[in-house]
Structure 1
Amino acid sequence: MALPLAAGLAGWIVAGLASGVGQIVAKTLVTLGIGYVSYTGLDALITLNEAQILTLIQTLPPTAVQLLGVLKVGTCIRIVFSALMMRATLFGLNEGVIKRMQVT
């Protein structure tokens, strides 16, 4: 007598989980898609700005470019832009939900 009740209960649990899994998968895919688009756009923006700054540094007189090379200014610029990228990524994520990103 207990066996049909257990089988029915197990069937209800499996059916409930199956209906909830579809929603979880859909939300996860949407979140990952929005995150990918945001990251790709932000990465393109930061890469463009970094390239422009390094190009402007190359237009300086040769002595200044050599001095900046010795001081590793190019490496410092890349570190700063990497930190900005990480801050924007972490700031945009809040408890698994992507917020609207604003430049402040």
Structure 2
Amino acid sequence: MSTISLHAPVARTHAPVRLTTRGKLVLFAAALAAMFALAVAMGSTTAATSDAGAAVQTTEVTVQPGETLWQIAGAANPGGDQRETVDQIMKLNALESASGLQIGHKLAVPVYSE
């Protein structure tokens, strides 16, 4: 004798996930914490110390009419990397750009030994 099942298979449907206001706040706080942790992990690697940095020997150069920072860097370090020299001069003088020189402006320029 065979047994016949009278019950048809039941298809299970899942209701869409609905977040309450509290659930939304928890999700937002978790995302914010994850971003903060990522920012701390990937942040700046600069560390302040009490050790003094190496002193850079400099000379003072007065900007002449038509003179550019690149020309000053080339004259200061003729055999060196001019881009690096420009960068050092900009850092020494807290210049935001290489194009902001004024005639008569006095610049601290590193002294390079040949």
TM-score by length of 2: 0.29
Structure (1 or 2) with the greater strand fraction? 2
Question: Which has the greater radius of gyration?
Answer: 2
TM-score by length of 1: 0.31
